[in-house]
Chain A
Amino acid sequence: DSGVTQTPKHLITATGQRVTLRCSPRSGDLSVYWYQQSLDQGLQFLIHYYNGEERAKGNILERFSAQQFPDLHSELNLSSLELGDSALYFCASSVASGVQETQYFGPGTRLLVL
């Protein structure tokens, strides 16, 4: 158990809908990262937040957005869902924002868009 929690574990929804994935980092960690794991794209970095501020963006679609709240939990919002958005979404956390920080991953949220 990495100490990173993600809810829900599984999510089934329909195309065109909007969902919110939630992540709580390890106690004391200020950085939160989101990754997407799909069959065709593999594991891809989406976005990084540090202490409430966006620090880096990867291959995140405009239909997706994220934020980190004052209590440091983070939410990833996916809207206008398409079949291709079906994937495993991971949240990871690290103590700070330095590049030497190891990222610890949560168990993931499996999203299925029908």
Chain B
Amino acid sequence: AQTVTQSQPEMSVQEAETVTLSCTYDTSESNYYLFWYKQPPSRQMILVIRQEAYKQQNATENRFSVNFQKAAKSFSLKISDSQLGDTAMYFCAFMPNNAGNMLTFGGGTRLMVKP
């Protein structure tokens, strides 16, 4: 079974600064997908970014980028130029290539962006 660990329950960052959220996972699979989802106070789950394990290039979406280290089974999210609207819970999620599209989520990191 796969497990996803987010070791930082809470983090804070000043507006306009950069913050990195950590995620590690455990799997014996070689092909899989990784995701970061954002859950603001509204509770809506919003996709932030995805990474295919077979791609060596790190994914980037505007101010959001990942550092994917396959050998270390690490998948961190970097948020640049943090904005107040980035305040939310962030969940790292793993999807293996052969398990019925089941997403396995980490426990989440609560990020507070301070003005």
Contact = CB atoms under 8 A, between A and B. Distances in A.
A51 B105 CA distance: 25
A15 interface: no
Contacts of B44: 2, 105, 107-108
Interface residues of B, number: 25
Given A90-B45, A107-B43, A107-B44, A43 B102 contact: no
A99 B105 contact: no
Given A43-B105, A99-B95, A56 B100 contact: yes
B47 interface: yes
B99 interface: yes
Please classify the interface of chain A as helix (H, G, I), strand (E, B), loop, or mixed, using the class held by over half of its residues: strand
Nearest to A45: B102
Interface of B: 33, 35, 37, 42-47, 50, 52, 91, 95-105, 107-108
28 contacts: A2-B46, A35-B103, A42-B107, A45-B103, A45-B104, A55-B101, A56-B102, A57-B100, A90-B45, A92-B45, A94-B101, A97-B101, A99-B95, A99-B101, A100-B33, A100-B52, A101-B101, A102-B35, A102-B50, A103-B101, A103-B103, A104-B47, A105-B44, A105-B47, A107-B42, A108-B43, A108-B45, A110-B43
